Amino acid sequence: MEKEPITSQGLINLKKECEFKLRIISNFDYKIPGVDLEVIKWTKENEVIDLQGIDIGVYPLEDSQWVLGKSGLKAIQYMAFAIPTVASNVGTTSQIIDHLEDGWLVDTQEEWYKALLTLIKDPDLRRSLGEKAREKIVKRYSIEATKSQYLKILE
């Protein structure tokens, strides 16, 4: 099975099934005809406020050597905000997200579609996954959780 990020066509098909707005926070411009799209220019000053306006974190990654070197920071950010995250099951995401416990890992277009459709239609599941994600991030990645490791290195 070839792993693939969600495509524009996948989002167009999803839009035919349910209402949603895709918010992209980036330094690039995007257009997906047929999809209600909000492109927000990323700034350090507005990053927290912009992330707080997201209901579902989408983290599409290609299955490539470059991605294998990524840290999964975007998944960690979403999860820290208690945003339920749908992410490609590549690289470090499977070490960060426990599938259907605190996020949703996907491999195929069909899995992207199912995950997003399910979460759009089920606010209770979004809340549950988001709360569990936040708990995990606080436990594993917060300053309190990591300070002893840093102090050990510095000693």
Confidence of residue 147 (pLDDT cuts 50, 70, 90): confident
> Residue 68 and residue 90: Cα distance in Å, rounded?
7
pLDDT score at 47: 96
- pTM comes to 0.90
| Architecture in CATH for domain 8-154 | 3-Layer(aba) Sandwich (3.40)
> Residue 95 and residue 124: Cα distance in Å, rounded?
25
Contact by Cβ (8 Å): 23, 17: no
Q: pLDDT by residue (tens digit) across 23-75?
A: 999 999 999 999 999 999 999 999 999 999 999 999 999 888 888 888 899 99
- Domain locations in the chain as residue ranges: 8-154
Assess whether pLDDT exceeds 90 at residue 101.
yes
Assess whether pLDDT exceeds 90 at residue 84.
yes
Q: Which residue has the higher pLDDT, 1 or 90?
A: 90
